[in-house]
Amino acid sequence: MKKENNPVSQEKFKTLIGGQALIEGIMMQGPDKRSIVVRGPEGLVTKVEPLKKRTGIAKWPLIRGVVNFASSMVSGVKALMYSAEFFPEEEEDAQPSKFEQWLEKKLGSEKLEKAVVSFSVFLGVLFSVGLFFLLPTLLSGIFDRWIHNAVVRSLIEGVIRIAIFMGYMILISRMKDMKRVFSYHGAEHKTIRCYEAQLPLTVENCRGMTRLHPRCGTSFLFVVVAISILLFALVSAVFPTSNMFVRLLIRLALLPFVVSISYECNRFVGRHDNALTRALSAPGMWFQHFTTNEPDDSMLEVAIEALKLVIPDEAGADRW
C-alpha cells in the first residue's frame, strides 16, 4: 500500500462538510447545501439544492443517529441515480419496457422516482442487515453444540462478522467498475483535507493530501461492526438464549441502538484529536486503503468544484 505523505497535523479545523463518491462524480454536503458535480460526456455538470434544517426530536442524541443514517441513505441513492443518468448502459434510442411505461403512467415520473429510491434503499438495508448481521448469527450457530456460553457464542459471531466485513471490502476494492468510484472517494477526502488545512483549493494542493480521513463512511461502518459486537455480547450476558430464532430477533431489535451509538462515537472521535480518538479511528482509517484510490487531476477538479459549492457564506458556520 502506498505510504501517505501528508501528516494529520496540517488540519487547522474540522469541518462538517462530507461527501460521497458517485459515478464519475462527487456529492458534497455542507451545513445548509448539498451539491452534486458529475464529469459528463460534455463536461462538468453541477447541481445544488438546499437542506432542510432538522428540529425537535430529530436533533436529540441517539435519535439523530438513526435519522441521519436514513437521510444519508436516501440522498446517497438519489445522487447515484442522478450521476448514472449521464452514462446510460443501453442504446440511446432504446424504449422503456412495458412495465416501466405502466409504472410511470400509474405513478407519474416524480412518484416513480420516489418509489425507485425507496425500493433501492430498502434493498440496500436488507442486503447489509442480512450479510453483516443475520448471516454471522446463523453461521455462529454451527458452534452451538460445542459452546454453551452465550457470551462466547456472541464473540465468535463477532469474529465472523469482522471476517465477512473485511472480505466484502477487499472483494469490492478489486472490482474493475469500483476502482474509479474509489478514486473519486480518494479525491473527496483529499479535497476536504486541503480545505481543513486552510490551503487554497487547487489541484496541486489537494494532490499532496492524504486520501484517508477519520470522519469517513468506511470508518463509520467499522464502528457499527465493532459496537454491534460489544452490544450483542453484553445483551447475551444479560439475556442468554440458545434459540436461534430469538437471537435473530434480538439482533434486529438492537440495530437502531447500534447505529445510534456508532453515530455518537463518530461525533466524539470527529470533534477531538488525541491519543484515544486516534486509536479509536485507526482501524477505520486502515480500511480506507481498500475503499479509496489515488485520484487523477480531473477527479480532484470535480471534488474541488463540489466542495466550493457547499462552503457556507458565513465563515466558520461549518466548523464541526
Please give the Cα distance from 126 to 116 (Å, whole number).
15
Q: What is the pTM of this model?
A: 0.84
Q: Which of 164, 178, 142, 154 is nearest to 240 (CA)?
A: 154
pLDDT in tens, 4-62: 544 444 778 889 899 999 999 999 999 999 999 999 888 899 999 999 888 888 888 88
Nearest to 46 by CA among 312, 305, 222: 305
pLDDT, position 306: 97
Mean pLDDT of 168-175: 88
Q: Give, rounded to a whole angstrom, the gap between the first and last alpha carbons of the chain.
A: 30
Does the pLDDT of residue 121 top 80, yes or no?
no
Report how many helices (DSSP H) and strands (DSSP E) the chain contains, helices first: 10, 4
**pLDDT tens track for 181-198:** 999 999 999 999 999 999
pLDDT in tens, 243-293: 889 999 999 999 999 999 998 888 888 777 788 888 888 888 888 999 999
